[in-house]
Structure 1
Amino acid sequence: MVLQLHVWGPAFSLPSIDAQCLAAIAYCSEVLPKDSWELIASSDPSVSPTGELPALQNGSTWVSRFRNIVDYLRQYSEGAWNLDENLGDIEHADSVAFSSFIESRGQPLLDLSLYVTSQNYYNNTSPAYGALLQWPNQWILPPKLHGSAKSRTEYLGLSSLDLQAMEEQRKREHSAAVASGQIPKNFIQQPRETVTKLLGRTAQHNQFRLEALTAEFFEPLEAMLARKSYLLPDQSGNPSSLDCIALGYLALALVPELNFPWLRDAMRAKAPQVTAYTERMRSRCFGDVDVKIEHAFQPVSVGPEAELAKLPWRAPERVSVAAVGSTLLSTLADNTPFLREIRQNRRLKQAVQSDGDFSPVQKHLLAEYADSSNKDMLVSIVAAVAGTAALVGYMVHVGLLSFSGGGHAEEEDDEVEGEVTHLDPGSAADFLGAL
């Protein structure tokens, strides 16, 4: 059985636009024989039962998330496919700790760089997704990912990187001031601020905060590398799973050519050893050829380009009409309040059950929480329906709302058959008085 790794597709000369997917690709390229797996740029989380990418498929078995994929490959191969087999207990503990550090510090920086920074999102990231996705996902997924990144980084206080949001906020404040009479009429028409002005003020406002965030991420990695080939000491001289997860985040910080490359500039200035390490790991795991979208969607099996290609690409299947319909229905459900909550609780249960980081007790408690949340929501729906029915019944009982039958077919055309509802002023006054 050939293993299939489903990922977000290529962008910025890298085999994926997502850090976790890059980490999974790097690990599989290091540990798996080339003819034992296929790389599929499905770019659609719905292909996985858990709704997440990367996702490793082995027949009917699906495994999502980088750490779960690493554990599954180790167990499936009975230890043969394991980059960490030569690590001691201390190195294993360091690997877990630094993996958590890279994910928790690296993801917010990538969110800020690729999504929150307006110049980069609208000129680089959004077009990259547009080239990857098919209709209707190309209109649905990028705004959703953009909004999620902004929500995840809101606590950092760097929303001013989003110039569009700043301009919209300025317009709202201006309109409110006009409405309240604080601005004379002859000053109402004000010229719109240019992007250059906004960018200049934004850079000054965010400079110190970004300096601190990038230093907190890059400087510990620079010190940890300390002229070693890899992050953890290994007598075999090979990278570990920690190096794969580091490559996923560092490559997206260094490689993309962005309109506002503040993250890449900070990496080169603060961590020259990490920069060289990232380039070396990128060449080792992804090959020396820049990855293009054509490699994923139209892979070649013969010729010089095929010989240089390190990754076993397989073209994704064409989207079916049923898949398009399912996507549209899922989007509609996610935007319907009650259905959205039910679907979120179901995803929570699936994610918990598939995640090996949770203990059996934690899985049981989180599953119970999801079930009780669904029950509470159903009770709220029933209560709302029953309350509405009771109100309508009471209004009919007191005469505030009445229903009268229609006339006969031979009656004149101006008589409305089945006409409903007349409001009695006296009954209305009695009803309001009773309230």
Structure 2
Amino acid sequence: MLELHVWGPAFSLPSIDAQCLATIAYLVKTVPKTEWVLVATSDPSVSPNNELPALKDGATWVSKFRNIVDYLRKISDGAWALNSQWTALQEADNIAFSALTESNGQLLIDLSLFVSSQNYYACTSPAYGAILTWPNQWILPPKLRTAAKHRTAHLGLSSLDLEATEETQARARSAAVAAGQIPKNLISRPRETVSTLLGKTAQSSRFRLDALTAELFEPLEQLLGKKQFLLSDDYPSTLDVLVTGYLSLSLVPKVPSAWLSDSLRAKAPRLATYVQRMRDECFGVVNPVDAFSDASNTSGILPWRQPERVNVAKIGSTLLNTLADATPVVRDFRSNDRLRQDIKSNDDENTTEYEKELASNYAVAQRREIYITVASVTAGLTAMIGYLIYHGLIAIPKHTEGEDHENGDGEFHSLQPTTAQDILSHLAL
């Protein structure tokens, strides 16, 4: 029995993660329902690669959408595959539009669900809190939001983050005061309201958001045309399940700032209708209770199985991993280990041997740089401590055993001089 471990349900979808949604849709379309179960683990540490989605087949773990697709095709001799009957042109379209969907789709989801302060605090953070257990519910959402901000930093849309906007304005005012452009008696003024910031955000970000959404939605709308699926009228492809995963998170969530779903409906109405239909076929309307109920639920579209209960050992492991990821050198080693595991487990046919070799060489070079950094820091600390000892700024304790001396009262005490000054004082006496 195959086990697909994913981030848990949210927004009436079976997962809060686009890659997990795409993988679920792929299994629904290819693997018989009696051959697999869906587990809302919401804990990346269950997988050796520390990633979700993760497919468990006995003792074998496979992570990431493309690796899972390749693995299912291999173990089924091509029976569990969606791309077995395409022409060369269709296969080229599949590869190109899949890359576009994954790159641009992830950026749009990052901006909508994580970077936008309105949506993050009103919907995304509570959704993660509902599927995570302590202490992950306090640790993972801020970490995921930070990663999303980092991925979208080059887009120049940080104004969606109200905290960042306020900090930028505060720094600008401080710089102006320091330069003498603003008198000090005018520096204290009422803080801008949320509605004011939102108005400025909408105006400054509208053109960039429109361009970013158009880059993804309009080509997919043209590709779909009047067909049942994106590449064919008869069969879905991996592109169909990827678009279903990413655009379901663009269309379905009811968030305060709904610019993404509004843009999809306005720019690509046929595509929005298609995504809604695929969502109904692959997922239905998910009730989170089904994912976490005691009894296995096989009556609906998805074969849910209850995740394992969290124990003390799991909580301790989570805290230790969090501490390790917060420690600079240890964090670098762990990141490098994950990179090397990703390279070893990458079975994507689209990745050439040359690209795999380049990635492997990069991982080796990165590990070498970490060792050099550790050695340099260690050598510097050793030299500094030696310098301080040599000049007497640090005294080394010295203990003399077995030398007891009688004092004037007939009592004995142990003489244990600790520094050169103590020795000289004792000799003078």
Query: Common fold, TM-score beyond 0.5?
Result: yes
Unaligned runs of 5+ in 2: 408-415, 422-429
User: What is the Cα deviation at residue 84 of structure 1?
Assistant: 1.9
1:266 aligned partner: 263
Give the C-alpha shift of residue 403 in structure 1: 4.1
Q: 2:302: which partner in 1?
A: 311
Structure 1 SS opposite 2:309: coil
Is 2:299 the partner of 1:338? no
Which of the numbers 348, 355, 374 marks the counterpart of 1:381? Answer: 374
Note the C-alpha offset of 1:147: 0.5
The structure 1 residue matched to 2:240, chosen from 234, 239, 243, is 243
1:372 corresponding residue in structure 2: 365
**TM-score using structure 1 length:** 0.88
Query: Contact 1:401/1:421 (CA < 8 Å) preserved in 2?
Result: no
- In the TM superposition, residue 333 of structure 1 has moved relative to its aligned partner by 1.3
Query: One-letter code of the match for 1:45?
Result: P
> Aligned with 1:12: secondary structure?
coil
CA distance in 1, matches of 2:418, 2:188: 52
Give the 3-state SS of the residue equivalent to 1:204 in structure 2. Answer: helix
For residues 387 and 72 of structure 1, the distance between their equivalents in structure 2, rounded to whole angstroms, comes to 48
Q: CA deviation at 1:360?
A: 3.6
Residue 265 of structure 2 aligns to which amino acid in structure 1?
R
Which residue type is aligned with residue 256 of structure 1? P
**1:208-357 superposed matches below 5 A:** 208-234=207-233, 237-287=234-284, 290-298=285-293, 300=295, 307=299, 309-357=300-348
| 1:53 corresponds to 2:46 | no
Task: Say which SS state the counterpart of residue 107 (structure 1) adopts.
Answer: helix
Instruction: Please give the per-residue CA displacement for 1:126-152, whole angstroms capped at 9, x wherever unaligned.
Output: 110000100111111101110011110
One-letter code of the match for 1:253?
S
1:101 is matched with 100
Q: Which one-letter code corresponds to 1:337 in the other structure?
A: P
Q: Distance in 1 between matches of 2:313 and 2:406?
A: 50
**Residue aligned with 2:159, SS:** helix
**SS of equivalent residue, structure 1 residue 250:** helix
Partner of 1:82: 81
Using the TM superposition, give the Cα deviation of residue 3 of structure 1 relative to its aligned residue in structure 2, in angstroms. 0.3
Q: Which runs of 4+ in 1 moved over 6 A?
A: 406-411, 417-422
Establish whether residue 119 from structure 1 lines up as the match of residue 118 from structure 2: yes
Conserved in 2, the CA contact under 8 Å of 1:403 and 1:421? no
Q: d(CA) in 1 for partners of 2:157 and 2:352?
A: 36
Between the two proteins, what is the percent identity of the paired residues? 55
SS across alignment from 1:153: helix
2: CA distance, partners of 1:313 / 1:335: 34
Q: Call closer, same or farther: CA 1:392–1:95 in 2, change over 3 Å.
A: same
Taking structure 1 as reference, are residues 410 and 141 closer, same or farther at Cα in structure 2, changes over 3 Å only? farther
Which residue is equivalent to 1:429? Answer: none
CA distance in 2, matches of 1:419, 1:142: 53
- Name the CA shift for 1:361/1:225 in 2 (closer, same or farther; >3 Å): closer
Distance 2:139 2:195 in 1: 30
Tell me by how many angstroms 1:262 deviates: 0.2
- Per the alignment, in what secondary structure is the counterpart of residue 57 of structure 1? strand
How far does the alpha carbon of each residue in 1:308-335 deviate from its partner, in whole angstroms, 9 at most, with x for none?
Answer: x110000100122222212111111111
Tell me how far apart the structure 1 counterparts of residues 253 and 271 of structure 2 sit (CA, whole Å). 16
Give me the whole-angstrom Cα distance separating, in 2, the residues matched to 1:57 and 1:51: 13
- Whether 1:25 and 2:24 are equivalent positions in the alignment is yes
**How many Å apart are 1:24 and its aligned residue?**
0.5
Q: Structure 1 CA distance, aligned partners of 2:252 and 2:383?
A: 63
What's 1:396 paired with? 389
Q: Give how far 1:71 is off.
A: 1.2
Q: What amino acid is aligned across from residue 383 of structure 1 in structure 2?
A: S
For residues 421 and 18 of structure 1, what CA distance do their matches in structure 2 show?
66
Rounded Cα–Cα distance in structure 1 between residues aligned with 2:215 and 2:229: 20
Q: Are the equivalent residues in 2 in contact too, given 1:348–1:370 (CA < 8 A)?
A: yes
Structure 2: distance between partners of 1:410 and 1:337: 54
Task: Report the Cα offset of residue 250 of structure 1.
Answer: 0.9
Taking the aligned partners of 1:46 and 1:324, their CA distance within structure 2 comes to 11
Give secondary structure in 1 for the equivalent of 2:255.
coil
**Is the Cα contact below 8 Å between 2:296 and 2:304 reproduced in 1?**
no
Shift of 1:30: 1.1
Gaps of at least 5 residues in structure 1 are: 412-416, 423-435
Give 1:342's aligned amino acid: F
